[in-house]
Structure 1
């Protein structure tokens, strides 16, 4: 049997992994090989993925060896293997093992020399300041000074870990991915709970930028191996996930064109010589008219299928560059499209910006929308049942957890 030009290998088995598998399948009709610690329904019952389970895959001591062994299993089937990651922890493992993995995989990732500067938020903000990217007023909390922090700005504030990967491993009552804190006593209680756990890293306290979720922006980018940006796609989130462990993840995004943002972040990435996928989260601050950066993910984001769904297939940009050696001019995405991570009714009910609701209704009526897991080419009955159940559970989650932000 003739070899394939390439096989996509995806670290993880979640909705992000499925979004990338769907992107590869839409562009090239190929089946992606997912490898992860366990099976999740998003990829488990799919006709466009296979899954290999390695229960300790996230152990740095075994990761590289397991990935090399997997590559050797696949080498007779394809000329090249294209590796992408669906989580921060997997992305970090790839980046820190690039020298070992590069002989076996095509790697759309940033060079290891940049990882600590970009991964740890306190260092990232220093880099932003150097390159002229705006970010919210920030106060750094450590395990040594958390008991009575004296903030240089008022409440409400946002609270989040500087080291999101280490924070993910911590366990304590009331844990959230990120927090909106309304008073000093609440801040001190929350910090006490966090530092009473296994987490010892820094915490970031930031001036809360007022406004609902529609003031957020998310930017996906791909840069080739010469450090030149090839794709930028900007989205305007209209609603965030209200599930405590998933706060900050988007569930409704419309595409938006902003040439000023595109040029500013292209200059930033190219100044670093950044390579591979990048995902930025920022928010518009009406108080001074600036877009302020929160973080960078060194991979495609959980909601990044909005890029592929709107006609700018992320997988195709990677493959055309790394497999076929093409170096096309940069594309600034410009289209009208809606991506949903919850049922239409949930998005329309809980989005606070009424003009945005009207725009969503228009796009839905024109059938200019998509949902990552709803793929007509992948309709196995068992999978479809799980997909419907997954989306429907958000009706109850929003009734239980949703909190308006527009009045904060």
Structure 2
């Protein structure tokens, strides 16, 4: 289990609900209560496996609202790996290697920033359009992008990923310029 704070939502209205950047969240008593409640709910319904919850916390009253339980990993689930809870490894060890997970809940507590864009674009967007978010960005070198898999360093993959990120970064900047 890991907790992330959405820093930047996808600005394109047709892609609403996707994220461009997520950072680790400080484990406050309120977030600990949320995690305990989610863990109790998952246990109560008898679910075992990988899932994630989309939650919003109302800053006015401090209440949290769960609006979705995803019974599979999404593209932003790499946050858990960055946080130190490698969900894929846990599932692989359990199902393929017959090495059950030690506890029922895998925890990730490391600080992280997960990006679905280039790091330079992220720094630019935070500085120019979301300066208030700078306080939520943890000081860490644990920055990851789901597409960045260093072991797959084939030159074709590097070119394709670079080309994709260049286009996606232009798309995000265009959306921000249009909204300004």
TM-score range, shorter chain: 0.7 to 0.9
Residue 139 of structure 2 is matched in structure 1 by 362
Rg comparison, structure with higher value: 1
Cα distance in 2 between the residues matched to 1:249 and 1:387: 19
CA gap of 1:358–1:285, structure 2 versus 1, over 3 A, is closer
Shift of 1:336: 0.8
Q: Are 1:397 and 2:171 matched, yes or no? A: yes
- 2:152 is paired with a residue whose SS is coil
Give the Cα–Cα distance (whole angstroms) in 1 for the partners of residues 70 and 78 of structure 2: 15
Give the structure, 1 or 2, with the largest relative contact order (CA under 8 Å, sep 6 or more): 2
**Contact 1:250/1:303 (CA < 8 Å) preserved in 2?**
yes
Aligned to 2:124: 349
Structure 1 residue 341: deviation in Å?
A: 0.7
* 8 Å contact from structure 1 (residues 249, 302) kept in 2: no
- Matched with 1:336 is 111
Q: Structure 2 length normalisation: TM-score? A: 0.83
Q: Give the whole-Å Cα distance in 1 for the aligned partners of 2:54 and 2:108.
A: 17
State the shift of 1:386 in Å: 1.0
Q: CA RMSD in A?
A: 2.2
Alpha-carbon distance in 2 for matches of 1:249, 1:374 = 18
What 5-or-longer segments of structure 1 have no aligned partner? 1-231
1:238 is aligned to 2:21: no
Hey, what's the Cα distance between the residues in 1 that align with 2:34 and 2:67?
A: 14
What's the counterpart of residue 303 of structure 1? 76
In structure 2, the gaps of 5 or more residues are none
| Equivalent residues of 2:84, 2:107 under 8 A apart | no
State the partner residue of 1:264: 37
Report the 3-state secondary structure (helix = DSSP H, G, I; strand = E; otherwise coil) of the residue aligned with 2:50.
Answer: strand
Paired positions, count: 170
1:239, 1:362 → 2: CA distance?
17
Give the Cα separation in 1 of the matches to 2:3 and 2:75: 14
8 Å CA contact retained: 2:57, 2:65? yes
Separation of aligned partners in 2, 1:389 and 1:255 = 28
* TM-score, L = length of structure 1: 0.39
Confirm or deny: 8 A CA contact 2:54 2:67 kept in the other structure.
yes
Contact 2:5-2:24 at 8 Å conserved across structures: yes
Q: Which is strand-richer, 1 or 2? A: 1
> Which protein is richer in helix relative to its size?
2
How far did 1:390 drift? 1.2
Contact 2:82 2:142 in 1 (8 A): no
Taking the aligned partners of 1:382 and 1:265, their CA distance within structure 2 comes to 42
